[in-house]
Amino acid sequence: KEWTRAERYKKITDHPEEYFVALAEKVDASAFRQHYHIQPHTGLLNDPNGFIHFDGKWHLFYQWFPMGPVHGLKHWYHVTSTDLVHWQDEGIGLLPDTAYDSHGAYSGSGFVKDGQLHIMYTGNVRSKEWERTPNQIVARMQADGSFEKFLPPAIQGIPEGYTDHFRDPKVWKVEDTYYAILGAQRTDETGTAVVYESADALSWKLKGELDIQLPDFGYMWECPDLFEIDGQMVLLFSPQGLEPEGDHYQNIFQTGYVIGKDFQLDSLDLENDGFHELDAGFDFYATQTAESPDGRRILTAWMGLPEMAYPTDREGWAHCLTLPRELGIRNGRLIQRPVRELEELRTSKSIAEEGTLKGKIAFEREGRNSYEMKLTLDLSEQAPVTVNLCEDDDQENRFSITIDPTTKKITIDRSACGIPFGEEYGTARSLRLEEMDQVSLHIFVDTSSIEIFVNDGEGTFTSRIFPNEGEKNISLESPEKTTFNLEIWELG
Ligand code: FRU
């Protein structure tokens, strides 16, 4: 179905109750609903927003179009958790219900001021002629969970030198000063990030552009996030418009980072050794991080991409968030590990196998695709190993992971896995490692996603998959003797 503009921007309150009942029925009948990922009840989810630990619990919101699996009038949906594992529904977090956000409550972030939870987000406004005006709005959470918006917006319209692509404020505080970093497009159609400062988080002054020495790097940067890990400054952002380069930049849009040396907030100078993609999988975008009470930097992302069709579109819903991950820096690169709290999801250990592989070993699985797997391979014999997941009994369909010590590459391939989609961007992705004598894979499989953590976070592959019924077995293959250790936990 093609959605008209009028349908995409029709208010949630202008839809009869029956509309949502029928839509929810359709969604509930989907075979691809996730078991332990955050996903929308109906409609489309995109960026994580307002991620923060406040007053004893985690608050997480996401961009949400309730009415169907398309991008339209965006709301924020709200979930909370005490452990990053079990999430409680809090209903709609933010409605696009004023003249300053009439065409969408776009992405933004959470922060604490005077002991109260605040957010700053982009109010998207369209004129009759469909000209866009972005506004940056600050709001404060009330006792009942709704937000009081401070209007007129803290930053109204577009400053000189930029286009209407000006959005996604991420706020942080240093001593008594609040800062916000926003994604922007210069009038020459190059992407950048700008920084604002404020003493009260209400009236903001443009400080300037963050300089990461990439003056012509894509046409727009979305969802910038600037934070410190181990005394080093990291800028994480989602640039649009990068061309594929070897194994890199294969998705329609990218997410990556630079790590700064001796960052000076005053000069906005972030000297760094270049841009690195954060994830090597098919579906990863628009990250957001938050700090945990014990000082960990936790990341979550949209497990999807803009301007792409997904198989669940016909079921009335689209997308989910990634598992929460802990960020770190190792050898000058960002690493991502699943947060330790996720061990709470384990219900039983279904496989524990140590041995030598030559040829193929298959493990038939009962039940649903909802498990965690740890595999360690000793590759000193230099033989390639393929791990097949979601394999059918005839061993014809699978999601494969090939670890090849001769090229030092790990390649994932979803060309024979379930319902094909996104094929115009290719069906394989590769990541090159420096060293490959031993490789460990830590994998989380849910009904319609695979998240692979390589070598304790050195690399990750994050992807959606839509396996057909019966595609659930696991097998390992290698032409030469390879020692392995495999553990599987069923997840609740
Ligand atoms: C990224 C993005 C943001 C914007 C939001 C709108 O996916 O385009 O830049 O705020 O989605 O939903």
Interface predicted TM-score (ipTM) of this complex, two decimals: 0.99
Mutation test of ligand 1: which of 133, 167, 307 has the most ligand atoms closer than 8 Å to its C-beta? 167
Residue 403 has pLDDT above 90, yes or no: yes
Task: Kindly give the distance from the C-alpha atom of residue 358 to the centroid of ligand 1, in angstroms, as a whole number.
Answer: 48
pLDDT at 41: 98
Report the sign of the C-alpha dihedral through residues 293, 297, 300, 306, in that order: positive
Residue 261 has pLDDT above 90, yes or no: no
Task: Kindly give the distance from the C-alpha atom of residue 255 to the centroid of ligand 1, in angstroms, as a whole number.
Answer: 13
Ligand 1, atom 8: nearest CA belongs to which residue?
222
- As to burial, measured by CB atoms within 10 angstroms (0-12 exposed, 13-18 middle, 19+ buried), residue 336 is buried
Place of tokens 């093609």: 2
Which CATH number is 342-491 given? 2.60.120.560
Question: Does 313 qualify as catalytic in the annotation?
Answer: no
Q: Where does the pLDDT of residue 367 fall: very low under 50, low under 70, confident under 90, or very high at 90 and above?
A: confident
Task: Kindly give the distance from the C-alpha atom of residue 107 to the centroid of ligand 1, in angstroms, as a whole number.
Answer: 6
pLDDT at 264: 87
Query: Of all atoms in ligand 1, which is nearest to the CA of residue 306?
Result: 7
For 108-130, how does the pLDDT look when each residue is reduced to its tens digit (9 = 90+)?
A: 999 999 999 999 999 999 999 99
Fold entry, domain 5-338: Tachylectin-2; Chain A (2.115.10)
With beta carbons less than 8 A apart as the criterion, state whether 317 and 43 touch. Answer: yes
Residue 412 has pLDDT above 90, yes or no: yes
Domain with CATH 2.60.120.560 in the chain: 342-491
Residue 237 has pLDDT above 90, yes or no: yes
CA distance 87 to 154: 31
Residue 74 has pLDDT above 90, yes or no: yes
Ligand 1, atom 6: nearest CA belongs to which residue?
106
Task: Kindly give the distance from the C-alpha atom of residue 313 to the centroid of ligand 1, in angstroms, as a whole number.
Answer: 19
Task: Kindly give the distance from the C-alpha atom of residue 166 to the centroid of ligand 1, in angstroms, as a whole number.
Answer: 10
**Mean pLDDT to the nearest integer, 448-467:** 98
DSSP one-letter string for 133-198: EEEEEEEEE-TTS-EEEEEEEEEES--TTEEEEEEEEEEEEETTEEEEEEEEEETTS-EEEEEEEE
Task: Kindly give the distance from the C-alpha atom of residue 47 to the centroid of ligand 1, in angstroms, as a whole number.
Answer: 7
Domain with CATH 2.115.10.20 in the chain: 5-338
185 lines ligand 1 (CB under 6 A): no
Q: Where does the pLDDT of residue 426 fall: very low under 50, low under 70, confident under 90, or very high at 90 and above?
A: very high
- As to burial, measured by CB atoms within 10 angstroms (0-12 exposed, 13-18 middle, 19+ buried), residue 87 is middle
Residues in the chain: 492
101 lines ligand 1 (CB under 6 A): no
% of the chain residues with pLDDT over 70: 100
Query: What's the mean per-residue pLDDT of the chain?
Result: 97
CB-based burial, 452-464: b 16+ in 10 Å, e otherwise: bbbbebbbbbbbb
pLDDT at 442: 98
* CA 161 centroid distance within chain: 30
Task: Kindly give the distance from the C-alpha atom of residue 106 to the centroid of ligand 1, in angstroms, as a whole number.
Answer: 6
Query: Of all atoms in ligand 1, which is nearest to the CA of residue 285?
Result: 7
Mutation test of ligand 1: which of 222, 285, 308 has the most ligand atoms closer than 8 Å to its C-beta? 222
Ligand 1, atom 9: nearest CA belongs to which residue?
222
430 lines ligand 1 (CB under 6 A): no
Closest by alpha carbon to 7, among 19, 24, 25?
19
% of the chain residues with pLDDT over 90: 98
pLDDT at 1: 79
pLDDT at 366: 85
DSSP one-letter string for 367-418: S-S-EEEEEEEE-TT---EEEEEEE-TTS---EEEEEETTTTEEEEE-TTSS
Q: Where does the pLDDT of residue 379 fall: very low under 50, low under 70, confident under 90, or very high at 90 and above?
A: very high
H/E stretch holding 21 reads helix 17-28
For 181-206, how does the pLDDT look when each residue is reduced to its tens digit (9 = 90+)?
A: 999 999 999 999 999 999 999 999 99
**Mean pLDDT to the nearest integer, 361-377:** 94
Query: Of all atoms in ligand 1, which is nearest to the CA of residue 238?
Result: 1
pLDDT at 151: 98
Mutation test of ligand 1: which of 132, 168, 285 has the most ligand atoms closer than 8 Å to its C-beta? 168
For 278-295, how does the pLDDT look when each residue is reduced to its tens digit (9 = 90+)?
A: 999 999 999 999 999 999
pLDDT at 368: 83
**Mean pLDDT to the nearest integer, 347-372:** 94
Residue 262 has pLDDT above 90, yes or no: no
Out of 47, 225, 279, 446, the active site residue is 47
With beta carbons less than 8 A apart as the criterion, state whether 185 and 165 touch. Answer: yes
